[in-house]
């Protein structure tokens, strides 16, 4: 696997939709905002992206973050191709973002019922902060590190 800085494009947008469709199924709710973004919406987000590429140079995962006003790394997106789940891609991407953040703390949110994502963040040292109902019936869990 090769990591590289990337810019949003149609390939990333398609990967994001596939990845968030799996999360929607896991949490039983398809109202995850990035699942419904247009390509133009994705392009307008002021995020830093790193992509993971397989040996055939196909995009198989990506992470995006910003830095909050308090300096914390805010992991805003983590997407992995469903065909590449359970191969350490998510762990590698989160670790890369944390490395780039240096000594800064980090925060992340995921669907409360997304057990694979929650397990990943907890294994990487994130601690539960709170569960929040962001819109009626849609719950997220917030973590900090």
Query: Mean pLDDT of all residues in the chain?
Result: 95
Contact present, 54 and 60 (Cβ < 8 Å): yes
pLDDT at 68 over 90: no
Average pLDDT rounded to a whole number, residues 130-141: 94
- pLDDT digits 0-9 by tens, 70-89: 899 999 999 999 999 999 99
Closest CA to 140 of 13, 29, 15, 2: 29
Tokens, residue 52:
């993971």
Give this prediction's pTM. Answer: 0.94
Comparing C-alpha atoms, which of 66, 75, 89, 106 is closest to residue 19? 89
Minimal CA–CA distance to 73: which of 125, 1, 9, 13?
125
pLDDT, tens only, 21-63: 999 999 999 999 899 999 999 999 999 999 999 999 999 999 9
- Residue 106's pLDDT is 97
């Amino acid at each position: 696997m090769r990591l590289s800085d990337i810019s949003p494009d149609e390939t990333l947008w398609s990967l994001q939709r596939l990845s968030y469709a799996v999360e929607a199924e896991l949490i039983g709710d398809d109202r995850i905002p990035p699942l419904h973004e247009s390509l133009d919406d994705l392009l307008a987000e002021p995020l830093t992206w790193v992509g993971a590429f397989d040996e055939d140079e196909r995009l198989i995962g990506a992470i995006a973050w910003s830095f909050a006003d308090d300096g914390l790394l805010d992991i805003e997106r983590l997407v992995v191709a469903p065909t590449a789940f359970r191969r350490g891609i998510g762990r590698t991407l989160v670790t890369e973002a944390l490395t780039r953040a240096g000594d800064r703390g980090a925060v992340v949110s995921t669907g409360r019922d997304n057990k694979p994502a929650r397990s990943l963040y907890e294994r990487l040292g994130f601690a539960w902060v709170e569960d929040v109902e962001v819109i009626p019936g849609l719950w997220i869990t917030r973590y900090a590190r």
